[in-house]
């Protein structure tokens, strides 16, 4: 039985702006605590993750992996004849699944007693929201959960000709050639998908390595593996212009003077918090230097009655994080059960080919904290590759605190890394030591067994000098 007392001075106790993962979780939990909740979403319930992010992207990843499976099958005695791929079928089936998920989101909100509003809402004051149709709603608490959108970068010539991850999920046909700008997980995941499906892919990246913030050896290993899977890289350069060339598609001018030709050009250079036009400035809600909503540890903004969760706060832009932030907010404000989100041990996967899984600190980040480290790592050919003939190799690395023997970071690249990493995160949350890993019985034959059979220390690392002890953010 909830102890929350509804405040009849307001139309609702909670008004949520944004129907993505964080906003929906907050609305449902608050409703369960007895609050009167209304949530506004101007597009589709489910947000970036469900509608145009991780869920449809993972479906694309599954589709792309069949190409490799068909190739590998020959080494195991299979003959696969007549296999072909149809892009429109994938798009149609993906759209059907997304529609089902959106309906499930709506049903869950309805069961929690949350009133849904299918239109844009903006903040007009500490306790006031205005809908697109002019309706004014008062609320005891307002939650901003509007997420983020793709960053289009500089206003280069022809920028309007480019697509983002949003449009990549809705293309009418599979491009023969695509140029993707970016070196983060979104750019690389789409590069892997398109390459596996037969597209000629070039990744243009201003840096000299991929996946900024990840462990250096993971970054190097992934670049090598993706190159073997047919992805071309143009490091140390950017796109300076995109030009229509008729039947030849688009001409892409690079900063090093080269021209590339492609059917599609995709910009995947980060995401920007959705704060424009929300009325936050008029309400007195402060933004941080990144243009995101500034919040404290409880997700409260500079206005005591207004909170924010998820990507709009630019803390850790991951769906499970937004969900936990929304849940913690609702429990604290409406359930009388305050608790804090733990940002220290967050498992992360990059669904490239091969996929990456990490949790905890990289070697550089641990050294930047002033720790002396023991490093354990292995690089091997998986059993499956012995018959398939694949050149891919699995890489694993453990970062261990020398003084306490605590495992600070686990870094994998290879098949099944994401699934392995979920349980590795459990071990790190429990404070597992290297001795705990060593005592764990191996599951043979598996790739994961290598995590508990690495006995030989590869290296020891001293702390970084104080002048350079700045860890790069992991995300």
| Three-state secondary structure string covering 211-274 | CCCCCHHHHHHHHHHHHHCCEEEEECCCEEEEEECHHHCEEEEECCCCEEEECEEEECCCEEEC
Query: Which strand ranges, in their side-by-side order, compose the sheet holding 373-380?
Result: 348-350, 356-360, 407-413, 394-401, 373-380, 459-461
Catalytic residue among 205, 229, 411, 444: 444
Instruction: Say which residue the tokens 């702006």 belong to.
Output: 17
DSSP 366-429: HHHTT--EEEEEEEE--HHHHHH-----EEEEEEEETTT-BEEEEEEESTTHHHHHHHHHHHHH
Angle CA 65–71–74, to nearest 5: 140
What are the CA-CA distances from residue 469 to residues 9, 215, 317, 466 (Å)? Answer: 52, 15, 24, 5
287, 316 contact by CB (below 8 A): no
Structure tokens belonging to residue 305: 């009655």
Is 444 catalytic? The answer is: yes
39, 115 contact by CB (below 8 A): yes
Structure tokens belonging to residue 268: 């995947």
296, 277 contact by CB (below 8 A): no
Omega before residue 218 within 30° of 0, cis: no
Instruction: Report, in this order, helix, strand and coil percent for the chain, each rounded to 5.
Output: 35, 25, 40
81-118 b/e (C-beta count within 10 Å ≥ 16 → b): eeeeeeeeebbeebeeebeebbeebbeebeeeebbbbe
Omega before residue 58 within 30° of 0, cis: no
Residues labelled as active-site residues = 444
């Amino acid at each position: 039985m909830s102890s929350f007392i509804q405040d009849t001075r307001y139309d609702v106790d909670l008004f949520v702006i944004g129907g993505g993962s964080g906003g929906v979780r907050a609305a449902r939990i608050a409703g369960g605590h007895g609050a009167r909740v209304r949530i506004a979403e101007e597009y589709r319930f489910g947000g970036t993750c469900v509608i145009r992010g991780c869920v449809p992207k993972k479906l694309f990843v599954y589709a792309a992996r069949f190409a490799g499976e068909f190739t590998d099958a020959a080494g195991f005695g299979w003959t696969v004849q007549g296999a072909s791929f149809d892009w429109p079928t994938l798009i149609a089936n993906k759209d059907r699944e997304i529609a089902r998920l959106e309906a499930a989101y709506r049903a869950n909100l309805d069961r929690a007693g949350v009133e849904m509003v299918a239109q844009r809402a903006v903040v007009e004051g500490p306790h006031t929201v205005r809908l697109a149709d002019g309706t004014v709603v008062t609320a005891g608490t307002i939650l901003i959960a509007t997420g983020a959108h793709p960053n289009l970068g500089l206003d280069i010539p022809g920028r309007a000709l480019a697509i983002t991850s949003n449009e990549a999920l809705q293309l009418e046909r599979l491009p023969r050639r695509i140029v993707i700008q970016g070196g983060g997980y979104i750019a690389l995941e789409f590069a892997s998908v398109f390459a596996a499906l037969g597209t000629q892919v070039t990744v243009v990246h201003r840096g000299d390595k991929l996946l900024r913030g990840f462990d250096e050896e993971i970054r190097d290993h992934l670049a090598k593996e993706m190159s073997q899977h047919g992805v071309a890289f143009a490091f140390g350069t950017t796109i300076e212009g995109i030009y229509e060339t008729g039947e030849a598609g688009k001409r892409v001018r690079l900063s090093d003077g080269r021209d590339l030709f492609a059917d599609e050009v995709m910009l995947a250079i980060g995401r920007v918090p959705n704060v424009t036009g929300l009325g936050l400035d008029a309400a007195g809600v402060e933004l941080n230097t990144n243009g995101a909503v500034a919040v404290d540890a409880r997700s409260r903004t500079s206005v005591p009655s207004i909170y924010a969760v998820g990507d709009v706060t630019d803390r850790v832009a991951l769906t499970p994080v937004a969900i936990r932030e929304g849940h913690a907010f609702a429990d604290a404000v409406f359930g009388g059960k305050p608790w804090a989100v733990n940002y220290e041990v967050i498992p992360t996967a990059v669904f490239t080919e091969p996929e990456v899984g990490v949790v905890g600190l990289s070697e550089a980040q641990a050294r930047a904290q002033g720790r002396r480290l023991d490093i354990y790592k292995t690089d091997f050919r998986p059993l499956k590759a012995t018959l398939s003939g694949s050149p891919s190799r699995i890489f694993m690395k453990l970062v261990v605190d020398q003084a306490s023997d605590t495992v600070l970071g686990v870094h994998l690249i290879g098949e099944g890394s994401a699934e392995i990493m979920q349980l590795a995160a459990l071990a790190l949350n429990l404070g597992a030591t290297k001795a705990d890993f060593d005592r764990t019985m191996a599951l043979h034959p598996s790739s994961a067994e290598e995590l508990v059979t690495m006995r030989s220390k590869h290296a020891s690392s001293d702390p970084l000098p104080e002048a350079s002890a700045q860890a790069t953010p992991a995300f």
